[in-house]
Amino acid sequence: MAVQVQMPHLGESVDEGVITKWLIAEGDFIEEYEPLLEVNTDKVDTEIPSPASGVLLKILVSEGTTVQAGSVLAWIGEEHESPLDGDPESQISSTSTNTTTTPTTTHNVETSTRMETPAPGRDQELGFISPIVARIASEHGIDLYQIIGTGKGGRITKRDVLAFLEADNKQVLDVYIASTPEPTPLRQNEVLPLSPVRRAIAEHMVLSKRTSPHVTTVMEVDLSRVVAHREANKVAYTKDGANLTFTVYFVASTVAALKTYPLVNSSWGDDGIILHKEINIGMATSLGEEGLIVPVIKNADELSMLGLARSINELSNRARAKQLQPEEVKGGTFTITNHGTSGSLFATPIINQPQCAILGVGAIQKRAIVIEDAIAIRPMVYISLTFDHRILDGAIGDYFLGKVVESLLSW
């Protein structure tokens, strides 16, 4: 009997994923537990094993499609065997799902009485509503009946909702065009297709800038004591199987500042500011041309310097090797981005929503500074704090960043 291949739950809070690559073709034989396809969730690629041995009878979901956990992706069975009775395609719940009802008119906001956001899943009039579309609509009070979907079969996509938010006139128009046609590119221009990672980064960054008012403050730090401590302890850490990087010091100093000013370890909520008890530090890690990913050090305040070094080394190495698990990029309460690795002196990073702030670390350079009316050469670095002005005022932001500076100066 043919066996269904279903989209698994890849994490406690992972509801959907993008099919990035089928590893075998229809008609090919595969052994149980061998990798069958790759799925991307929150910029993490995961191989999905085959649930049984047999021939891949039919692929129901094409590459690049977003599917919900539990959706049927394919059928595996004996050669020449047919899938189970019934239309298997009707069991798919994905962003490519056809809907039988396509909105043909918009509903004026003054006369519509259906302002409650539909729950994720199938809606009799709107068709399939993905969890992320439902969440964005709920957060911004959007009536989905006001949007004409541009997805397959008239489905409302995440891009349609974001386009609606970007409209200058937030009042519902009698006729609303969810997307504008792109100009035909010149022949000599090359169009690079968007990878799931690049698309996720773009959507998250645009959403962050739209969600919270960003303010950035910058301070300068003399890292003489940090450099001396690192030089004195590098060999010992190496013997313990850890590389003592400068990132360890910035994470440890950030943890100290978050414990002193817990308001920075928070998120904005409709009912008030949410103070997080756990201190989970995200580290923005470059993947080269493929973009970046933010693995999270869980409960960083409970780790020693050696524990931080080991955790940072392991997460960074596995991030670059694309071996992270979906849960390892979730749950962050504060993020650090070391843009100085590429030579940048200082920057204004974008907040990793729904967090309150992000710390930027510039390149470490030896510079001439004045100490007690004398010129001295010191290893200096600019650090910046970009914060949500809804939660923090300038003074608190400066106090927090000043605490990071104090910790680095007094190592």
Mind telling me the catalytic residues?
389, 393
Residue 94 DSSP symbol:
B
- Computed on alpha carbons and rounded to an integer, the radius of gyration of the chain in Å comes to 25
Phi, psi torsion values for 354, nearest 5 degrees: -95, 30
C-alpha distances in angstroms, 253 versus 98, 171, 359, 400?
A: 52, 46, 11, 10
CA distances (Å), origin 395, targets 72, 160, 269 = 53, 39, 22
86: left (phi over 0), alpha (psi -120 to 50) or beta: left
Question: Alpha-carbon distance 25 to 257, whole Å?
Answer: 53
**Helix or strand run (H / E) with residue 49:** strand 44-49
The answer to whether the beta carbons of residues 224 and 359 sit under 8 Å apart is: no
